[in-house]
Chain A
């Protein structure tokens, strides 16, 4: 089991990069989201073994940002004048394009996974959300590890193709003279 320090060194920069990529610099402090994820990992590690720390950290950071965003939405509704003072306002403008792109990509990925063949989807969810290894998934589903890896590979490919199509559609629009 790798030590907490090792995990921090291994995943901190990556996590920060992914938070920025998904939500831009301003929506919520990316450093804060990463910090919260590692704190949660440290907390959970006291009582249980985290099988897949990488997936765990990503889920934590993601949930933290979504939670912050929900709170922000509540604040904005109850006191709209405060949102003008909030740091998120200028950064949304600054990073708006990136955030929109990320949202579009995530929507496409979500739609693709929803429409996926059931077995393929199950393997994808077990590996990415539950953080289970292919051997463990094979045991639970009563299939060979090779078959599980094939299903995972197909699931990833299906999502990647959907992302490519979105990317190409976007470039098509950008290529048009304004």
Chain B
């Protein structure tokens, strides 16, 4: 049985997607960014620990991003042929 998912779940998923995006952007720009990264990571850990559903939602974002990498054809969508 799954508990009913309401607005709560939608809001958590949205936060999880934002965290995933923020963390993908980190560590590749300037030296300043490295300092910011530590603060970002700390804030992220705090968010994860605030509610068990946060980890579930974040894991879903990671898995979904893997799925995206694996689902999309190399050619993009200009041609009509589906790769998978």
Q: Which residues of A contact B (CB under 8 A)?
A: 18, 21-22, 55, 58-59, 62-63, 66, 103, 105-107, 109-110, 113-114, 121, 124-125, 127-129, 133-135, 145, 149, 152-154, 156-157, 159-161, 163-164, 168, 171, 175
Contact = CB atoms under 8 A, between A and B. Distances in A.
Given A114-B77, A149-B22, A153-B18, A58 B60 contact: no
Interface of B: 1-2, 5, 13-14, 16-18, 20-22, 24-25, 28-29, 60-61, 63-72, 74, 76-77, 82-84
Contacts of B83: 66
B69 A107 contact: no
Contacts of A127: 24
Contact of A58 (B1, B70, B76): B70
A108 B6 CA distance: 22
Contacts, number: 100
